[in-house]
Amino acid sequence: MTDPRELQPGALGVAEFRAVLAGPAHFTLAESLARTLDARAASIRALAAGEAAIYGLNTGFGKLARTRIAPGQLAELQRNLVLSHAAGVGEPLPAPVVRLILLLKANGLARGHSGVGRAVVESLLALLRHDVLPVIPAQGSVGASGDLAPLAHLSLVLLGEGEAFVAGRRMPGREALAAAGLAPLVLGAKEGLALLNGTQVSTALALAHVLEAGELLRAALVIGALSVDAARGSDAPFDARLHQLRGHAGQVDCAEAYRRLLEHSAIRASHAQDDERVQDPYCLRCQPQVVGACLDQLRRALGVLVIEANAVSDNPIHFADTGELVSGGNFHAEPVAFAADGAALAIAELGALAERRVALLIDASMSGLPPFLSPAPGLNSGFMLAHVTAAALASENKSLAHPASVDSMPTSANQEDHVSMATFAARRLAAMNANTRAILAIEYLAAAQGIGFLAPLESSPPLQRVVHLLRTQVPALAEDRVLSTDIEAATGLLRAGALVDIVAGLPLPTL
C-alpha cells in the first residue's frame, strides 16, 4: 500500500490488514478528525486540572489509583507510566505484526474516545509510513489491562526512548525518529495511559496468524485431494447432496473444492466401477467435515478479531457528549483469547488430519502403494522417518492447542485479578502454523510420490500441475537421500502460496 489512504476509524477490514502485514502503509488523518481529537484532548486536560480525582488523569495507576497527583506533575506521570511499564522480555515481535499493531493502535485512538490529541495518532501513522518499527519484546502481557508491557515498548519510541528497527537495523528510538524526520512526543494528560491500554498487540498477533492459517487451509485442501488420488480413494464422499443435508457452510465449501480438484482424474476413472473398498478411511472420506469445521472456526475467529481491531479498548473512556470519563474493562482481551484458542484447534486439526494421510500413504496394506513409498523398500527406508517427523509435529501442536484462556494469574496486587492470557494465546499460533505447514509439506511429498507409482495414469489436470510444480524443486524419491532438504523445498512452496496459485480459478474457500 503505497498511495495515501485516509484512515476511517473503526472501519478497517481484512484488505487493510493484509496490506499492512505485507509492507509499509501510508494512512492520513482527515483535518476534521484531527480537530475533533484536539478538542477531545482539551476536554481531558480540563478534567485533569479539576478538583475531582479521575483515574488515569490525576491519580496513580492500578492499585495506586487512590494516590492523587499534583497538577504540575501530570506530564511526568504519563511519561513515567510508559517507562515503568516497558518491562517485556523475549525476542522482538516480527516486523509485519508490529506494522499491524501501529495501525490498530492509531485506529482505536482515532475514534475519539481516548482523549488523545492529533499528534499522538499522526505520530503512530508516521512510524508506519516510514517503516520505523519499535522493538517490542514478545513476552510480558497477560491480556488485561490490555497489552501493557508490549504497548509501552512501542510507546517508548514515540518519546525518543527505547529501540526501533529502521531498514532492518536496530537503533535507539531517538535516532530512529530522526531518521524518519520525526520529533519525540511530549505526552499530555491521559495520553500515556491511552497508548498502553488496549488489545492491539494480541489482536494483531491473532489476526496475522489466523490469516496465515486460512492460507494453510487452502493448501491443505489441494494436498488432501492429491492424497485421495494417490491412495486411489473415492470422490463419492464429496457429493454435494451429502453436505447440503448437513448444512455447515465450511463443510459445503470444502466439499465443492475437493470435487473440483479431483474432477477428470484418470486415476479415479480407472477404479470408479470396480473399487474393492466399500469406504475409505476417515482421513480421506471425512475431509470436508473436518477441514470444513476448521474453516468455520477460522471464519468465526476472524470475525471476532475484525470487531476487536476496530474497537475502543482503552480505559477510562471519554464520552464527549456528556463530558464523562467512564471506567470500565474494554481492555480485557477475553474475546481475542477465545478467538485465538479456537483458531489453535483448527490449526492443530489440519495438521493432525494431514499426518494421518501420510501414515495411510506409507502403509502398503492401506494404500496399495509400495511400503514407505520406496521403489526398493528394505534396502531403502523411503518416507519412514518423514512420517515420524510429521507425527512429532502433530503431537507438539496438540500440546500447544491447550486453551490459554482458561488460565489466569492475578496481577497488580490483586486489583487486576482475572486476565485473559490473550497475547500468548495469539502468539503461540505462529509455532502451530509452522508445524502444520511442515506436516503438509511432508504430505505433499508423499502424495506426489504416490501419484508417480500410478503412472501412466494421471490425476486431474489441476492436481497434475501441483505435482509438476513440486518436481521443479524436488525429484521423485528413487533411493534414500536426506529428506530434510526436500521437506524444506516443499515448505517453501507452501509458504509462497504457490500451490494455491497454480490451481487459481478453482473454488478454494477463503476466510
| 165 sits in which H/E element | strand 163-166
| 132 sits in which H/E element | strand 132-134
Give the Cα separation of 265 and 459 in Å (integer): 5
Parallel, antiparallel or unpaired: strands 5-6 and 27-28: parallel
Strand partners, 172: 163
Strand partners, 5: 27
- Lookup: cell for 270: 480407472
Helical axes 200-230 vs 249-262, angle rounded to 10° = 40
Strand partners, 134: 164
258 is annotated as an active-site residue: no
Longest dimension (CA), the chain: 88
Residue with cell 524436488: 474
For the CA atoms of 46, 187, 66, 329, what is the dihedral angle to 10 degrees?
A: 90
Cβ within 8 Å of residue 16, ≥6 positions away: 1, 25, 103
Cβ within 8 Å of residue 315, ≥6 positions away: 56, 145, 146, 193, 197, 327, 328, 329, 330, 331
CB 315 within 8 A of CB 197: yes
Instruction: Work out the number of other CB atoms within 10 angstroms of the CB of residue 275.
Output: 15
Residue with cell 502424495: 447
Closest to 210 in 3D by CA, of 418, 422, 465: 422
Cis peptide before 316 (omega within 30 of 0): yes
Give the Cα separation of 235 and 457 in Å (integer): 17
Give the Cα separation of 494 and 467 in Å (integer): 13
| 6 sits in which H/E element | strand 5-6
Catalytic residue among 55, 258, 282, 444: 55
CB 183 within 8 A of CB 463: no
Cβ within 8 Å of residue 429, ≥6 positions away: 205, 206, 209, 210, 212, 213, 340, 343, 344, 347
Q: CA Rg, the chain, in Å?
A: 26
Residue with cell 510480558: 140
**Which residue numbers are catalytic?**
55
